[in-house]
Amino acid sequence: MTWRTMTAIILGAAALAGCGQQAKTEAPAPAAGGGPKPLASIHELMLSVVDPAADEIWGSVATVSNASGVNEHRPRTDEDWAKVRNAAIALSEAANLLVMDGRVVAHPGQRIDSEGQPGAPTGAIIQKRIDGDRASFAAYAAGLQAASMEAVAAVEKKDVAALETVGGDIDVACEACHEQFWYPPTEPAKPKS
Ligand code: HEC
């Protein structure tokens, strides 16, 4: 196929798309299939994307003391810095994935970490909390995104101190969301007798 036939096909498709507008009754409106489809649950995003990416950033700067002395662990090679950058990019985009319409807390059968402990919420309870205050959930996700972008900036400057500070900011962003939506106990504390 030459690029000319390609162009003809593309133009043809565009013309057809135009026709669709006039013949609405015959051609169904584009199905939801064309848009983004949330597949993983929030639970899965936490375990597969958010947590590993944050660990990569947190683990990149550390002071390790052992028998052989104190070892300042920090990114040194271009490869080290690229790993941290990749994690920061993944984390900043994960924040968008978290707030996608239709993203559920957990799929049937998925057991969240604390489930079963006295007073710990089930996925259904966390879902209710999020559905009841999507604005706060989105604000926390935006906070995580901002902190992750700061991590990207620290990497661009190869600024180890900034990377360490930003690691703290990321932790604060994680915990802010967890404290409102995940950690609060579901049963009121029993009055002391
Ligand atoms: C916008 C809200 C939000 C932000 C921000 C957020 N989380 Fe979560 N996270 C949740 C919710 C809700 C749950 C509880 C339900 C679940 O387990 O998925 C959770 C659960 C988890 C879990 C437990 C998963 C399990 O086994 O059930 C881990 C680990 C986790 N988050 C890590 C992180 C880390 C690390 C960060 C920051 C880098 C972070 N989260 C930021 C909402 C958030």
CA of 62 to the centre of ligand 1 (A): 23
How large is the average pLDDT for residues 88-100? 98
Q: Can you give the pLDDT at residue 145?
A: 98
CA of 107 to the centre of ligand 1 (A): 15
Distance of CA 37 to the CA centre of its chain: 15
Query: Whose C-alpha lies nearest to ligand 1, atom 3?
Result: 177
Answer whether residue 26 shows pLDDT above 60. no
pLDDT in tens, 34-44: 789 999 999 99
Q: Can you give the pLDDT at residue 9?
A: 46
Ligand 1: lining residues by beta carbon, under 6 Å: 42-43, 46-47, 50-51, 54, 98, 105, 112-113, 126, 137, 140-141, 144, 170, 173-174, 177-178, 181-182
Mean pLDDT over each residue of the chain, to the nearest integer: 87
CA of 46 to the centre of ligand 1 (A): 5
Does residue 124 or residue 3 have the better pLDDT? 124
Return the closest-CA partner of residue 155 out of 94, 92, 83. Answer: 83
Enumerate residues 6+ apart whose C-beta is below 8 A from 169.
Answer: 147, 150
Q: Can you give the pLDDT at residue 190?
A: 64
Measured distance CA(126)–CA(43) in Å, rounded: 11
pLDDT in tens, 57-76: 999 999 889 998 999 999 99
The one-letter amino acid at 108: P
CA of 120 to the centre of ligand 1 (A): 14
Q: pLDDT above 70 covers what percent of the chain?
A: 80
